[in-house]
Amino acid sequence: MTETTSRLMPKYSLVVPIYNEESTIPALYQRVSAVMDRLDGNSELILVDDGSRDRTLDLLRELHDRDSRVIYLRLARNFGHQIAVTAGLNYVRGEAIIVFDADLQDPPELIPDLLALWQQGYHVVYAQRTKRVREGWFKRLCAYLFYRILQQLANVDIPADTGDFCLMDRQVVDLLNQMPERNRYIRGLRSWVGFNQIAFKFERDLRFAGNVKYTFAKSFGLAINGLVSFSTVPLRLSTYLGLFSAVLAIVMAILVLYWRLFIPHSTLTGFATIAIAIFFLGAVQLISIGILGEYIGRIYEEVKHRPLYTIAEVGRKIEGRG
């Protein structure tokens, strides 16, 4: 690398996944660029348009024309939040990389605080939500339960109540970029790499404008992904269910035998028992097949080796010319 390019290379890269956020982009740019102006080095803002259907792309093009620090990627369709972040991470050039949402729920003003911890030698600074007061009780309950179950089952320690808002050192991002898996549960992969990680507590703001893009189904899908990607304990669940049914069957056999031998003239009224037993075993088998299916489906996804995303357009100025 020559002296000039190294001076032009950004020190900090900010990655923002965006899906149909036309109403927040002006405010996002205003707040983020104010923060970028105050940083102690060059920075780049990588806006990843995850196949938006509103005016997002036009707005990104405008920003890129106005400010050469703004780079945008347009994915060729909607690939989902985790893949959009992955695409952004593939393009970063900075030494410290910060990922946050476009809806301003993760306040960009906290970036200098995250950077201060990076300067102290931490490789990953993950933002941890202190409360979720403003979200509905059902979402909060589901999130609470999910993170606790995941902590119990996962084979790496994935901290509770963390999202994708974080700072990562170049070294960590290089490792993430080398990971080939398609089912990307980024906050899990980020914990998996290790190094010095620290939590940064913050209170999550309300969405600035627009609607939540994560429907319940998408969140549920992400949760299952997190569990299946980081734990094989669910597979063992079928074994436990099977053992439980076997014990139940033995107990029932003993009961029936006792009944026939020691209670004279007993007539066994069996219909309800048989019906329940059939449904119970059916349920056990279907659940087991379902769990197997989750893993096999993922194996299938992985072996296909398709690219993770397709890119329709990249807006990036070439140093010294753009």
The answer for residues whose C-beta is within 8 angstroms of residue 45's C-beta and 6 or more apart is: 14, 16, 32, 33, 36, 67, 69, 70, 71
Which region among 82-90, 96-104, 128-136, 179-187 touches Mg ion (by CB under 5 A)? 96-104
Q: Between 102 and 228, name the residue whose CB sits nearer to Mg ion.
A: 102
Which region among 95-103, 115-123, 163-171, 294-302 touches Mg ion (by CB under 5 A)? 95-103
Q: Between 105 and 197, name the residue whose CB sits nearer to Mg ion.
A: 105
From Mg ion, ligand UDP, none, interface partner of 315 (C-beta below 5 to 8 A by class): none
Q: How far is the CB of 165 from Mg ion (least distance, A)?
A: 10
**Residue 128 interacts with ligand UDP (CB under 6 A)?**
no
Q: Between 220 and 300, name the residue whose CB sits nearer to Mg ion.
A: 220
Q: Between 38 and 77, name the residue whose CB sits nearer to ligand UDP.
A: 77
Q: How far is the CB of 213 from ligand UDP (least distance, A)?
A: 3
Walk across the sheet containing 124-129 and list its strands.
197-202, 124-129, 162-169, 96-99, 12-18, 43-49, 70-75, 311-315
**Residue 169 interacts with ligand UDP (CB under 6 A)?**
no
Give the one residue of 49, 50, 103, 164 binding Mg ion; rule: CB under 5 A: 103
**Residue 102 interacts with ligand UDP (CB under 6 A)?**
yes
From Mg ion, ligand UDP, none, interface partner of 19 (C-beta below 5 to 8 A by class): ligand UDP
In sequence order, which ranges of the chain are alpha helices (DSSP H)?
3-8, 25-38, 56-66, 81-91, 111-119, 137-153, 170-178, 186-193, 216-230, 233-262, 271-304
The answer for residues whose C-beta is within 8 angstroms of residue 202's C-beta and 6 or more apart is: 106, 107, 110, 127, 128, 129, 130, 165
**Residue 187 interacts with ligand UDP (CB under 6 A)?**
no
**Residue 213 interacts with ligand UDP (CB under 6 A)?**
yes
Residue 158 · residue 188 · CB < 8 Å? yes
Buried/exposed code over 195-224 (b: 16+ C-beta within 10 A; e: otherwise)? eebbbbebebeebbebeebeeeeeeeebbe
**Residue 64 interacts with ligand UDP (CB under 6 A)?**
no
Q: How far is the CB of 24 from Mg ion (least distance, A)?
A: 10
Query: Residue for token digits 């200098």?
Result: 112
How long is the chain? 322
* Residues forming the site for ligand UDP (CB under 6 A): 17-19, 21, 50, 78, 80-81, 84, 101-103, 105, 207, 212-214
* Residues forming the site for Mg ion (CB under 5 A): 103, 105
